[in-house]
Amino acid sequence: MSKDNSLSDLLIPEKDLNYFLSKEIISNLDRFNALAANTPVNLLVVGKQGCGKSSMVKQFAARHNRPLATFQVGILSEPGQLFGELRLKDGETYYQQFLFPQAITTPNCVIHLEEINRPEHPKALNMLFSILSDDRQAWLDELGSISVAKGVIFFATLNEGEEFTGTELLDAALRDRFYVVSMDYLPMDIEKEVLKRKTGVGEEEAQNIVSILNNLRHNTKMPIPVSTRHSLMISKLVNAGATIKEALIFSLQMSREALEAILLTVQIEIGESEISKNVYELY
């Protein structure tokens, strides 16, 4: 969370010319964009880790020329902490306002609340309830009444992991205030295109990487979630000269033995890494 209150923090993000999104989500986001001009719109973006949620929020802002302000809800430990805090200077306490009040009073701003299901303190979200409700207002002793500016749109993102199923962990009253946008990992052919465009790997390598990753993801014995973030990391390593096997070992945070066992069970043949791990030399 930025503690700097300067206007320069609220920038329109740059377009990512290699960001792909399903047509269905694109047209619905366009509708939400239009709706937000005269009605409160809160969107909850749900999807697995690294599937492109934060980038989608950023690209929404870029596409619609809206300034973007992002806040980590996961680190909040008390109600009101988004707005500001009491500080001490020369023995006097004063109220330091943060970026959040400025962002929500900036017309057309996109407010991104990250990890909304994981505040450190259960009451940390209390101030958000009234901001996200239809009257879009909050009262703070230090700042008085704050009203959300025209056209502001709220996005909240949360990870849908194996350990929980997304929205269930969110307080029902809070969840009730949102439209839901569900995202998933990209289809194979699109992911291949993203890898080629973003990392420079060639067609054949991209094809290999994507098919191996999909085997890992969808094998019935032990599915391994591999995010788009990780497939990009793997492709970058391959593009820097690593074999796919080396790139997998160094990206997936699993031991060589475990990886080999899984590759065997799903019968993936990806060749040896070129350099033995047991030969040492001075570095």
Residues that bind ligand ATP (CB under 6 A): 18-21, 47, 49-55, 159, 186, 194, 228-229, 232
Cβ at position 220, least distance to ligand ATP in Å: 25
Quote the CA–CA distance of 29 and 70 in Å, as a whole number.
Answer: 18
Give residue 271's Cα distance to chain centre. 34
Taking CB atoms within 8 Å and a gap of at least 24, the contacts of 234-242 are 234/209, 235/195, 235/198, 235/199, 235/201, 235/205, 235/206, 235/209, 236/199, 238/199, 238/201, 238/205, 238/209, 239/199, 239/200, 239/201, 239/205, 242/273
C-beta of 53 vs 66, nearer to Mg ion: 53
Cβ nearer to ligand ATP, comparing 50 with 166: 50
Name the residue whose CB lies closest to ligand ATP: 52
In angstroms, give the least distance from the CB of 239 to ligand ATP.
15
State which residue, 54 or 219, has the beta carbon closest to Mg ion: 54
Provide the minimum distance between the beta carbon of 59 and ligand ATP in the complex, in angstroms, as a whole number: 9
* Minimum CB distance to ligand ATP smaller for 217 or for 229: 229
Q: How many whole angstroms separate alpha carbon 133 and alpha carbon 228?
A: 34
x-marked contacts with Mg ion along 100-129 as a string, rule CB under 5 A: ------------------------------
Q: DSSP of 98-111, one letter per residue?
A: -HHHHHHTSTT-EE
Residue 49 binding: pick among ligand ATP, Mg ion, none (C-beta 5-8 Å cut-off by kind): ligand ATP
Task: Give the residue from 148, 156, 55, 51 showing the smallest Cα distance to 109.
Answer: 148
Q: Is 214 in the site for Mg ion (CB under 5 A)?
A: no
Stretch that binds Mg ion, among 31-39, 49-57, 199-207, 248-256 (CB under 5 A): 49-57
Rounded to whole angstroms, the Cα distance separating 184 from 203 reads 23
Residue 18 interacts, among ligand ATP, Mg ion, none and using kind-specific CB cut-offs from 5 to 8 Å, with ligand ATP
Q: Does 54 bind Mg ion (CB under 5 A)?
A: yes
**DSSP-based three-state secondary structure for 169:** helix
**Residue nearer to ligand ATP on the CB measure, 55 or 130:** 55
> Closest separation between CB of residue 201 and ligand ATP, Å?
14
- 85: Cβ contacts below 8 Å, ≥ 6 apart: 95, 96, 98
- Positions touching Mg ion (CB under 5 A) are 53-54
